[in-house]
């Protein structure tokens, strides 16, 4: 019982940043834009959140800073791929490369007196136990979390409802499936894509903030460790559905939890081999999901994903 509770508790904390960023990317991709800059946005979110929280002594200021930075980076991606029609894959990669470099640069410079951020202790989000609910065995772990985790519960519900049950959600889905038709029906393809790319960036930034303010409080270089890329895989795993994203994120959180437990138990397995687990799991899961989808011939990807839209050019 105790073991299960602790695995679940760690899974949730470890999975939270993934849920934020994955839901963001699901929205972005649903509009037809592939954003491979998530890793860059998450790491920039993490560094700016920690820096802002440290200097203002407010964890909330950190979240706001991360959201702003993530949103701005996504705006860059949107401008380049939607307005300037740049290749989406390469643009996203460029944003990740630039973001990783910039984060490492800022990490050296945003500390007190232009010094490094590494090793500093800043404000963090405390755990808040919800009375009664947190006393339930095993799933009580769900209700003894920090505020960003509680917010992600709400986000999942709102994101699912919005996508499937509201008019703007319908417009979003139709833009990703058939921009021509949406355009003809009076939905602004450019506007929709801009909006949800920025929304995706904001959520990726907040996901990064959760890492540096709560999961592993503080800043170290390479803090995200490829989580942004796991997010891209999770979107495929989730077949572009916010609810299924939670399952995937918990799965990866669980792997992190097991890693922790094994390391804490003084295993003889070297850390570098243990650390491979999430990456191997990503590949395995991706292969299984793709294989199963191929069998059923049901492709969950939005039809216009990755294709720039241009009114004058029809293909």
Partner 1 sequence: MLPFSFKFEKRLEPSRLASILVPVLSLLLAFLFGAALLAVIGANPGQTYQAMLAGAIGTPAQWQDGQFYNMTELLVKAVPIILTGLSVSVAFRMLFWNIGAEGQLVMGGIATAAVALFFPSALPFIPESPWIYIPLMFVAAILAGAAWALIPALLKAYLKVNEIITTLMFNYIAILWYQFLFTTAWKDPEGFGFPGSALIPEYTWIPRISGRLHWGLLLAIAAAFVVWVIMDKTRWGYEIRLIGENARAANYAGVSIIRNIILVMILSGGLAGLAGFVEVTAISHRLQHGLAVGYGFTGIIVAWLAKLNPWGVVIVSILLSALLVGGEQIQITMGLPASVSLVLQGAILLFVLGGDVFTRYRLRMIRKAPTAVVAESPSVQEA
Partner 2 sequence: MVGREVIFHIDKKEVSEVREVVLDLRSVNADNDKGLPALKDVSFQIRGGEILGIAGVAGNGQTELAEVITGLRPVIEGQVIFLGQDLTNRPPLTFIRKGVAHVPGDRLGVGLAGNLPVSDNLIMKAFRKRPISNGPFLSRGSIGSFSKKLIKAFDVMTPSIETPARNLSGGNQQKAILGREITSGDRAGGDYAPLLVAVYPSRGLDVGAIEAVRTAVLEQRQNGAAILLISEDLEELMTISDRIAVLHGGEVMGVVEPADIDIEELGLMMAGERRQ
Q: Is 297 in the site for partner 2 (CB under 8 A)?
A: yes
Task: Please report whether residue 291 would count as binding partner 2 according to CB under 8 A.
Answer: no
The owner of tokens 């720039």 is: 308
What is the chain's Cα-based Rg?
A: 20
Q: How far apart are CA 32 and CA 50, in angstroms?
A: 32
One residue of 80, 159, 199, 206 binding partner 1 per CB under 8 A: 80
Q: From the list partner 2, partner 1, none, pick the one residue 87 interacts with, judged by a Cβ distance below 5 to 8 Å according to partner type.
A: partner 1
Collect all residues with Cβ–Cβ distance below 8 Å to 95 and sequence separation of at least 6: 36, 37, 40, 41, 73, 76, 77
Binding-site string for partner 1 from residue 196 to residue 225, where x marks contact by CB under 8 A and - marks none: -----------------------------x
Among 85, 130, 137, 188, binds partner 1 (CB under 8 A): 85
Residue 303 beta carbon to partner 2: minimum distance, rounded to whole angstroms: 12
Cβ distance to partner 1 smaller for residue 128 or 276: 276
79 lies in the site for partner 1, by CB under 8 A: yes
C-alpha 77/C-alpha 64 separation (Å) is: 20
Site mask, partner 1, residues 262-291, x = CB under 8 A?
--------x-xx-xx--xx-xx--xx--xx
Q: Which is nearer to partner 1, 272 or 296 (CB)?
A: 272
Q: Of residues 22, 28, 48, 76, which one binds partner 1 by CB under 8 A?
A: 76
Residues across the chain: 315
315 contacts partner 2 (rule: CB under 8 A): yes
How are beta strands 127-129 and 144-146 bridged, if at all?
Answer: antiparallel
297 binds, among partner 1, partner 2, none (CB under 5 to 8 A by kind): partner 2
The SS3 of residue 257 is helix
Question: Does residue 96 contact residue 232 with C-beta atoms inside 8 Å?
Answer: no
Q: Please say which residue, 265 or 315, places its beta carbon nearer to partner 2.
A: 315
Cβ proximity of 43 and 66 under 8 Å: no
Q: Which of 6, 58, 104, 134 binds partner 1 (CB under 8 A)?
A: 104
Token pair, residue 280, equals: 């191997």
- Is 312 a binding residue for partner 2 by CB under 8 A? The answer is no
181 makes contact with partner 1 (CB under 8 A): no
C-beta separation of 62 from 212 below 8 A: yes
Kind and range of the H or E element at 286? helix 277-296
Q: Decide if 44 contacts 178 (C-beta within 8 A).
A: no
Only segment of 8-16, 85-93, 151-159, 183-191 that touches partner 1 (CB under 8 A): 85-93
Query: Between residues 167 and 315, which has the closer beta carbon with respect to partner 1?
Result: 315
């Amino acid at each position: 019982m105790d073991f299960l509770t602790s695995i679940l508790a760690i899974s949730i904390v470890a999975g939270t940043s993934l849920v934020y960023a994955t839901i963001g990317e699901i929205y972005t991709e649903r509009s037809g834009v592939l954003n491979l800059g998530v890793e860059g946005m998450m790491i920039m979110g993490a560094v700016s959140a920690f820096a802002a929280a440290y200097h203002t002594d407010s964890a909330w200021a950190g979240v706001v800073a991360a959201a702003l930075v993530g949103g701005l980076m996504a705006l860059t991606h949107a401008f380049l791929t939607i307005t300037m029609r740049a290749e989406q894959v390469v643009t996203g990669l460029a944003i990740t490369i630039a973001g990783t470099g910039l984060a490492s640069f800022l990490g050296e410079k945003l500390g007190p007196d232009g010094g490094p951020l590494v090793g500093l202790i800043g404000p963090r989000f405390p755990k808040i136990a919800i009375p009664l609910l947190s006393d339930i065995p095993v799933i009580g772990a769900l209700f003894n979390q920090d505020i960003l985790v509680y917010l992600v519960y709400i986000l999942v519900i709102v994101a699912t409802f919005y996508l499937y049950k509201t008019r703007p959600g319908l417009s979003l889905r139709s833009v990703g499936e058939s921009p021509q038709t949406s355009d003809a029906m009076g939905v602004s393809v450019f506007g929709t894509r801009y909006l949800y790319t920025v929304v995706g960036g904001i959520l990726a930034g907040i996901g990064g903030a959760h890492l540096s303010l709560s999961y592993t409080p503080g800043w170290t270089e390479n803090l995200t460790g490829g989580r942004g890329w796991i997010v891209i895989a999770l979107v495929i795993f989730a077949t572009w559905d916010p609810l299924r994203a939670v399952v995937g994120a918990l799965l990866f959180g669980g792997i992190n939890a097991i890693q922790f437990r094994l390391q804490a138990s003084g295993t003889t397995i070297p850390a570098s081999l243990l650390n491979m687990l999430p990456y191997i799991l990503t590949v395995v899961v991706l292969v299984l999901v793709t294989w199963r989808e191929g069998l059923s011939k049901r492709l969950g990807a939005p039809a216009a994903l990755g294709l720039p839209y241009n009114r004058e050019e029809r293909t």
